[in-house]
């Protein structure tokens, strides 16, 4: 793993400044035809809108965006974001112990260096601190992410066949659901 990387939940006060970088990470996945809830056409503005829509919940502590950042900064003095993952604290009265994980993304040029793992480790620490002891997530069946989540100790619970449209709109794809008890 590269040195000089910090991984932590983004502070609400810093969130807006990293939205352009989060938007680029998300758009790059959709452009690579990775299932992320979106389909083409998908612009950088669409991606920014998605991240901005989470801001209120982040301020309220209902959602966290865990980010891996390089210690160096860009020309605007904003630390360079290498990857991210969302932890959503379920809000229904019967699911106060559950967290939902999503948008686990490591920038293409930084993959396979252990950054995904340290993001998941940090996300799980945040979950425990918030008394969330059951984590659920889903990913595209047959993707590399499926293997990644298995490596991270998540248990496959099943597949929903053909439930999503691929970003390029060319085919239906299946979703594999995972669970981990902390």
Q: Which of 15, 50, 64, 148 binds ligand COA (CB under 6 A)?
A: 148
The closest alpha carbon to 120, from 146, 87, 88, belongs to 87
Q: Does 115 bind ligand COA (CB under 6 A)?
A: yes
SS3 49: helix
Instruction: Rank residues 60 and 170 by Cβ distance to ligand COA and give the closer one.
Output: 170
Among 8, 14, 147, 157, binds ligand COA (CB under 6 A): 147
Question: Residue 151 interacts with ligand COA (CB under 6 A)?
Answer: yes
CA-based nearest residue to 69, from 54, 85, 83: 83
The CA distance from 75 to 98, in Å, is 39
Nearer to ligand COA (CB atom), residue 10 or residue 84: 84
Contact criterion met (CB below 8 Å) for 91 and 62: yes
**Residues forming the site for ligand COA (CB under 6 A):** 29, 34, 104-106, 111-117, 139, 143-145, 147-148, 151
């Amino acid at each position: 793993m590269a040195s000089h990387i910090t991984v932590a939940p983004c502070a609400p006060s810093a969130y807006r400044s990293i939205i352009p970088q989060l938007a680029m990470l998300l758009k790059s996945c959709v452009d690579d035809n990775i299932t992320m809830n979106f389909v083409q056409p998908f612009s950088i503005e669409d991606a920014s809108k998605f991240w901005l829509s989470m801001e209120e919940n982040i301020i309220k502590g209902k959602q966290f965006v865990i980010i891996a950042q390089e210690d160096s900064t860009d020309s605007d003095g904003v630390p360079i974001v290498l990857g991210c993952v969302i932890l959503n604290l379920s809000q229904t009265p019967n699911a106060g112990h559950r967290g939902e994980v999503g948008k686990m993304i490591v920038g293409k040029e930084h993959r396979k260096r252990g950054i995904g793992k340290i993001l998941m480790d940090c996300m799980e620490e945040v979950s425990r601190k918030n008394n969330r002891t059951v984590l659920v997530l889903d990913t595209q069946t047959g993707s590399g992410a499926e293997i990644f989540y298995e490596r991270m100790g998540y248990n496959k619970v099943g597949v929903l066949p053909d439930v999503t449209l691929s970003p390029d709109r060319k085919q239906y794809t299946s979703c594999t659901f995972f669970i981990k008890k902390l």
